[in-house]
Amino acid sequence: MTFLLRAHEVTKRFPGVLALDRVSFELRSGEVHALVGENGAGKSTLVNIFAGSLRPDGGTIELEGRPVQIRSPHHAQELGIRAVFQQLSLVPALTVAENIFLGRELTAPGLLRKPAMRARSLAQLGIFDAGIAPTARVRDLTVPQRYLVEIAKATLERPKVLILDEPTASLTDRETSVLFRLVRELRAQGVGIIWITHRLEELYEIADRVTVMRDGRHVATLSAQETTTDRLITLMTGREYEQIYPMLQPVPPDAPTVLEVQGLCSVHGLRNISLTLRTGEILGVGGLIGSGKGLLGRALVGLEPLTAGEIRIGGETVRADHLSPHAMLRRGVMYFPADRRGEGLLTNRSVLENMTIAALERFERLAGLLDKGKERRAVVEYIRRLAIVPPNPAARVRNLSGGNQQKVALARGLIRDTQVFIMDEPTQGIDVGAKIAIYELLHELARQGAAVLFITSDMLELLHVCHRVAVMFQGELVATVPHEEASEERLLQYFFGHMREEGGQTSVDAA
Q: How does pLDDT run across 106-132, given as a tens digit for each residue?
A: 888 878 888 999 999 999 888 777 789
| CB atoms closer than 10 angstroms to residue 497 | 17
pLDDT at 429 over 80: no
DSSP 34-76: EEE--TTSSHHHHHHHHTTSS--SEEEEEETTEE----SHHHH
Question: Which band of pLDDT confidence, cut at 50, 70 and 90, is reported for residue 491?
Answer: very high
- 256 within some domain: no
* Single-letter code of the amino acid located at 248: L
pLDDT greater at residue 258 or residue 201: 258
Q: Looking at the structure, tell me whether residues 148 and 165 fall in a common domain.
A: no
Residue 396 is given by DSSP the state B
| Domain limit, last residue, from 157, 173, 203 | 157
- The pLDDT value given to residue 510: 45
User: How confident is the model over 294-318, as pLDDT tens digits?
Assistant: 999 999 999 999 999 999 999 999 9
| Domain limit, last residue, from 129, 157, 185 | 157
Please count the structural domains in the chain: 3
For 36, the domain range is 1-80+159-243
Burial of 394 (0-12, 13-18, 19+ CB in 10 A): exposed
Measure CA of the first residue to CA of the last residue in the chain; give whole Å.
55
- 18 within some domain: yes
pLDDT greater at residue 15 or residue 159: 159
Q: Looking at the structure, tell me whether residues 366 and 495 fall in a common domain.
A: yes
CA 304/CA 298 separation, integer angstroms: 5
Give the CA count within 13 Å in the CB-facing half-sphere of 11.
8
- The pLDDT value given to residue 508: 56
Q: Looking at the structure, tell me whether residues 111 and 175 fall in a common domain.
A: no
Specify whether the CB–CB gap between 219 and 24 falls below 8 A: no
Specify whether the CB–CB gap between 158 and 191 falls below 8 A: yes
Q: Looking at the structure, tell me whether residues 220 and 342 fall in a common domain.
A: no
- Where does 331-485 have alpha helices with state H? 351-356, 372-386, 402-415, 432-447, 459-464
Q: Looking at the structure, tell me whether residues 151 and 170 fall in a common domain.
A: no
User: How confident is the model over 278-296, as pLDDT tens digits?
Assistant: 999 999 999 988 899 999 9
H or E, element range at 321 = none
- The pLDDT value given to residue 505: 56
- The pLDDT value given to residue 295: 94
- 268 within some domain: no
CA 438/CA 336 separation, integer angstroms: 13
User: Mean pLDDT over residues 232-244, rounded?
Assistant: 78
Q: Looking at the structure, tell me whether residues 419 and 497 fall in a common domain.
A: yes
- The pLDDT value given to residue 242: 65
Distances 483 to 41, 261, 283, 311, 433 between C-alpha atoms, Å: 34, 21, 10, 25, 24
CA 21/CA 379 separation, integer angstroms: 33
Smallest CA-to-CA distance from 435 within 2, 40, 39 is with 39
pLDDT greater at residue 265 or residue 364: 265
Q: Looking at the structure, tell me whether residues 138 and 181 fall in a common domain.
A: no
Task: Give the percent of the chain with pLDDT over 70.
Answer: 97
| Domain limit, last residue, from 136, 157, 178 | 157
CA 165/CA 88 separation, integer angstroms: 10
- 248 within some domain: no
Highest-pLDDT range among 220-229, 333-342, 343-352: 220-229
Main-chain phi, psi angles of 46, to 5 degrees: -65, -50
- 67 within some domain: yes
Q: Looking at the structure, tell me whether residues 145 and 163 fall in a common domain.
A: no
- 255 within some domain: no
- The pLDDT value given to residue 328: 93
Strands 282-286 and 468-473, by their bridges, are parallel
User: Mean pLDDT over residues 211-227, rounded?
Assistant: 94
Question: Which band of pLDDT confidence, cut at 50, 70 and 90, is reported for residue 511?
Answer: very low
CA 421/CA 451 separation, integer angstroms: 6
**SS3 of residue 259 by DSSP:** strand
- 262 within some domain: no
CA 129/CA 278 separation, integer angstroms: 45
Strands 217-223 and 257-266, by their bridges, are unpaired
Highest-pLDDT range among 15-19, 156-160, 190-194, 232-236: 190-194
Question: Considering the chain, what is the average pLDDT of its residues?
Answer: 89
pLDDT at 506 over 70: no
- The pLDDT value given to residue 509: 59
* Single-letter code of the amino acid located at 259: L
- 73 within some domain: yes
User: Mean pLDDT over residues 392-409, rounded?
Assistant: 86
- Rounded to the nearest angstrom, the gap between the alpha carbon of residue 1 and the centroid of all alpha carbons in its chain is 37
Distances 167 to 21, 159, 206, 322, 417 between C-alpha atoms, Å: 26, 17, 12, 40, 36
User: How confident is the model over 50-76, as pLDDT tens digits?
Assistant: 999 999 999 999 999 999 999 999 999
pLDDT at 504 over 70: no
Identify the CATH number of the domain in which residue 224 sits. Answer: 3.40.50.300
Query: Angle, nearest 10°, between helix axes 432-447 and 229-237?
Result: 90
pLDDT at 503 over 70: no
Task: Give the percent of the chain with pLDDT over 90.
Answer: 57
Q: Looking at the structure, tell me whether residues 354 and 420 fall in a common domain.
A: yes
* Single-letter code of the amino acid located at 97: A
pLDDT at 507 over 90: no
Q: Looking at the structure, tell me whether residues 74 and 123 fall in a common domain.
A: no
Q: Looking at the structure, tell me whether residues 40 and 65 fall in a common domain.
A: yes
Q: Looking at the structure, tell me whether residues 295 and 389 fall in a common domain.
A: yes
User: How confident is the model over 9-31, as pLDDT tens digits?
Assistant: 999 998 777 899 999 999 999 99
Cross-strand bridge partners of residue 34: 195, 210
11-15, 39-43, 146-150, 255-259: least confidently modelled range: 39-43
